[in-house]
Amino acid sequence: MNNEISQKVLNKLKKLSKKKVNESDELNLLNIDSLDFAELLIELEEEYKISISDEELLNLKTVKDVVDIIQIKMKQLHQN
């Protein structure tokens, strides 16, 4: 599951940035339009049936942070 999430996020960000993307890449250096990034996050929230708060969004600095928050939210979802 973790690898699947990582691959999906990497592929989606690669399409938006039009370049190779790694988990360690900083989001602000990918040259992705903020509206496109917001749409991507909404898409991921819907796909994984999670909700990412505004506060959590502000803490997303790297691609790995996006993957991690999805994994954390999914784990919380399955614990309830």
Helix axes 63-79, 2-17, angle to 10 degrees: 140
Predicted confidence at residue 64, as pLDDT, reads: 97
Q: What pLDDT does residue 2 have?
A: 74
Give residue 1's pLDDT.
Answer: 53
Which residues constitute the domain of residue 66?
A: 2-79
pLDDT tens for the 80 residues of the chain, in order: 579 999 999 999 999 999 999 999 999 999 999 999 999 999 999 999 999 999 999 999 999 999 999 999 999 988 86
Euclidean distance between the first and the last CA atom of the chain, given in angstroms as a whole number:
18
For residue 77, what pLDDT is reported?
A: 85
Residues with a catalytic annotation lie at 33
Instruction: Count the domains in the chain.
Output: 1
Domain of 26, CATH number, reads: 1.10.1200.10
